[in-house]
Amino acid sequence: MEKREQLYEGKAKKVFATDDPNLYIVSYKDDATAFNGLKKGTIAGKGSINNRMTNFLMQQLEKEGVPTHFVEELSDRETVVKKVKIVPLEVIVRNISAGSFSKRYGVEEGIVFDEPTIEFSYKNDELGDPLMNAYHAIALKLATREEIERIKELAFKVNAFLKAFMKARNVDLVDFKLEFGRLSDGTIVLADEISPDTCRFWDSTTHEKLDKDRFRRDLGNVEDAYQEMMKRLGR
Ligand code: TMP
């Protein structure tokens, strides 16, 4: 496996081509942004933690029947993944009210839902990732009806696994964001990352925030929270 030219640089990761046309290498950065890049900073050690946590969780999810882009962890920060075309939707699953849900509907954080919710945002920085329903996504040809159904099925499967997995480690899975991609044959697989950047994790006992909200809201001890989550996973 040979690393070739950089194809893309996002806010938290870089993507490189390889000598294999079906494989990419992703490289995780310590850079952190919030509010569509308005707030910038670094979280020391984040790249390594998010890389290793994502890979560990994706391997567990594969065992649960969720196909992912994961291939092989190369180093602390770098991972080989299958080449996909990202479906430009942020898929957000919620178990407990928080963040933009609480703001939009004017409710406090911490309301435990009877059933998980799902929503989509159009992945488009210029537009600020606007909320979008499935009909809009189909109308704009971002995904087919069948792909949306598959994405919903996989997202809820991820939630069922991750929620129980975290609960066993005294962590409440509040909400999270997933991204899916298409392999060259059209198969939908889980892509991007699953990390404290993309999930809300609350300690089940103290309700202490163990995720990127510590950075977004200037709560302090950001690095400690990421490290604590790795410890909870036994990593
Ligand atoms: P929200 O409450 O701000 O909509 O966030 C819901 C979840 O999605 C939360 O776990 C954080 C995650 N998220 C991202 O991963 N990327 C983003 O750009 C945003 C806004 C949220």
Q: What is the mean pLDDT of each run of 10 residues along the chain (235 residues)?
A: 96 98 98 97 98 98 98 98 98 99 98 98 97 98 98 99 98 99 98 98 98 98 98 96
CATH of the domain at 202: 3.30.470.20
Centre of ligand 1 to C-alpha 3, Å, is 31
* Per-residue b or e along 22-44, where b marks 16 or more CB atoms closer than 10 Å to that residue's CB: ebbbbbbbbbbbbeeeeeeeebe
Last residue within a domain, chosen from 52, 82, 112 = 82
Q: Is the CB of 95 under 6 A from ligand 1?
A: no
pLDDT of residue 122: 98
Q: How many domains does the chain have?
A: 2
Distance separating alpha carbons of residues 166 and 173, to the nearest angstrom: 7
- Site to probe by mutation for ligand 1, drawn from 198, 202, 209, 212 as the one with most ligand atoms within 8 Å of Cβ, is 198
Examine the domain organization and report whether 72 and 92 are in the same domain: no
| 69 lies in the same domain as 153 | no
What is the Å distance from ligand 1's center to 136 Cα? 20
Instruction: Answer yes or no: do 45 and 115 share one domain.
Output: no
Cα 97 to Cα 25, 66, 111, 112: the distances in Å are 35, 26, 5, 7
State CA 139 to chain mean position distance.
25
Domain interval for residue 207:
85-232
Domain boundary among 66, 82, 98: 82
Instruction: State if residue 70 touches ligand 1 by the CB under 6 angstroms criterion.
Output: no
Write the DSSP string, 12-31: SEEEEEESSTTEEEEEE-SE
